[in-house]
Amino acid sequence: MQEIEAIFRNDILKVSILAWFIAQMLKMIIVLIQSKKIDFSRLIGAGGMPSSHSAFVMSMCIAVGEKVGYESPLFGVSLVIGLIVMYDAAGVRRAAGKQAAVLNKIIREIEHSEFHFEERLKELLGHTPIEVLAGALLGIIIALIYT
């Protein structure tokens, strides 16, 4: 039971979750401003501005640096993992989203014949470099404020 309580007292975990939550809320607000509709799926969905993955990992990195020092091996490990996550968000996942868009277009063309497909592939998976950078800056700012 003490381990569970310790998890809830972990400042690094709390600031990372806060950064993720704020990024997700910003996504919903941006969609609301653009489309004049509330889209609650943006609270948990991937893709969009700003990258919540980037906010999450960069707030973790900065919180670790502030807590144990920027020269510590733990900060180095955190930063490496954070950079991998951000690279993946802007690279691999973005490419997968583009491929999904192409496949969905092909499916729409094929459906006019005898084939029918039940579901479409999710297209909003990754991020543009600007979305990743915005998420990273958001995470850094939140971590510096709250740690």
pTM passes above 0.75: yes
> Which residues does the chain have with pLDDT short of 50?
121
- At 62-94, the pLDDT tens digits run 999 999 999 999 999 999 999 999 988 877 666
Q: Is residue 18 part of a domain?
A: yes
Residue with tokens 């920027």: 70
Q: Is residue 103 part of a domain?
A: no
Q: Is residue 89 part of a domain?
A: no
DSSP class of residue 70 equals: T
Number of domains in the chain: 1
Nearest to 90 by CA among 30, 139, 131: 131
Domain limits at 68? 2-78+129-146
Q: Is residue 84 part of a domain?
A: no
